[in-house]
Amino acid sequence: MLTNKTVILGITGSIAAYKAADIASKLTQAGAKVEVVMTEPATKFIAPLTMHSITGRAVVTDMFDLASQHTIEHIALGGAADVMVIAPATASLIAKAAVGIADDMVTLTVLATKAPVIVAPAMDVNMFANPVTQENLAKLKARGFIIVDPEYGRLASGKVGWGRLADVDKIIGTIKQVLGRSGDLAGKRLVVTAGGTQEPIDPARHIGNRSSGKMGYAIAEAARDRGAEVKLVAAPTSLPQPAGVEVIRVRTTVEMKSAVAKAVAKADALIMAAAVTDYQPRTTARAKIKKATPGLTLELVRTPDILGEVKGNFLKVGFAAESEDIVVNAKKKLQNKQLDLIVANDITDKKGGFGVDTNKVTIISRDGKVEKLPLLTKREVADRILDRVVGMLGKKK
Ligand code: CTP
């Protein structure tokens, strides 16, 4: 989705400026045209040559260098850009942008551009907490700027607190979200579930499954990139939180059921990619079970069927984790759970199942159409599923 998109990357004078190289590199690798503008102080932290080498494009630092054709083009470029991102943004940049001062290449481009502007602050803890900075950020937000909040952690000053530049992947995720605003899922609300639910046996142990959550997360990110408002109900996973997606964390099937019931109010579609544990211990021991006896019998009872029981007027997409008779079993699930679409995967296929980044699925619709897909990345599978969701949502109207 970043292919051929023009991203203006504004860099200001913070120690975190070196991270802008990573941002530029990831954007360039994803196919974006990255136009770098830097303030004079920023050039003390990272060389324009570094940014030029990464992006393959001229870097503009001096607003008075009007002899340079590129600088003039750059001011015009503000109008043509798809998005501008300022990372890192210092307190000074934020203050100037809030009142419309344009006295360096970055603030000048902010004023000149019609593109959405993303601001990723990075500064010392006290500067960030200062009410003036907070007021300035609030002003920018009110004017439609998108702020990627800094993180908590160790700062260059040695202090620990809020002020570290947000994670690079979070900044890139926000860029994708902003670019996706006009995608084919714009204005649609999607609820996606991911990961494997866990049913506690005692405070130390649980019944679970091998789901990594990757398929559900890929769907949530793909839907975000296509403009949807996404709620991700996530059972425990080790995956990073996707930017621009509301994540609701749950552990057990019962918790997931109530989170889904709440999230689907006003939803256009529910995609249940979670691997839901089918049985839970009848009781959970309050203390850790000691290995006193030679054997142990656990009494298990069925968990609720979230997808089968959820009510509402939205598209229902299920997954079918199968190890045999894939299409036949998936069709039965589609029928029993009254789904619009079911995505069946063979969990015995090592390249297309638990933990890996690829998947080999068969998509079956209510009208009986069976579409067998080749081995694809989970992100590609996510987009193929969403293509179908877009088609069905169109017909629903
Ligand atoms: N699912 C659910 N609640 C459950 C079990 C499954 O909502 N208690 C959902 C899954 O998220 C998936 C679909 O139902 O989208 C099918 O899940 P799967 O585990 O393949 O099937 P089950 O219904 O559990 O049937 P079985 O385990 O007998 O194959």
Is the pLDDT confidence value at 3 over 70?
Answer: yes
Band (71; pLDDT cuts 50, 70, 90): low
| Burial of residue 88, with CB atoms counted within 10 A of its CB: 0-12 exposed, 13-18 middle, 19 or more buried | buried
Band (299; pLDDT cuts 50, 70, 90): very high
CA torsion sign, 223 to 259 to 355 to 392? negative
> Tens digit of pLDDT for each residue in 331-352?
999 999 999 999 999 888 777 7
Q: What is the pTM of this model?
A: 0.90
- Any atom of ligand 1 within 6 Å of the Cβ of 321: yes
> Tens digit of pLDDT for each residue in 190-203?
999 999 999 999 99
Bridge pairing between strands 361-365 and 315-322: unpaired
Residues designated catalytic: 209
Domains within the chain, CATH numbers bracketed = 6-179 (3.40.50.1950), 189-396 (3.40.50.10300)
Q: Which of 78, 91, 22, 94 is nearest to 54 (CA)?
A: 22
> Tens digit of pLDDT for each residue in 375-394?
999 999 999 999 999 999 98
* Ligand 1 centre distance from Cα of residue 194 (Å): 12
> Tens digit of pLDDT for each residue in 136-193?
999 999 999 999 999 999 998 899 999 999 999 999 999 999 999 989 999 999 999 9
Tell me the chain's radius of gyration from C-alpha atoms.
25
- Any atom of ligand 1 within 6 Å of the Cβ of 380: no
* Ligand 1 centre distance from Cα of residue 166 (Å): 37
- Any atom of ligand 1 within 6 Å of the Cβ of 305: yes
Nearest atom of ligand 1 to the alpha carbon of 306: 7
313-324 mean pLDDT: 94
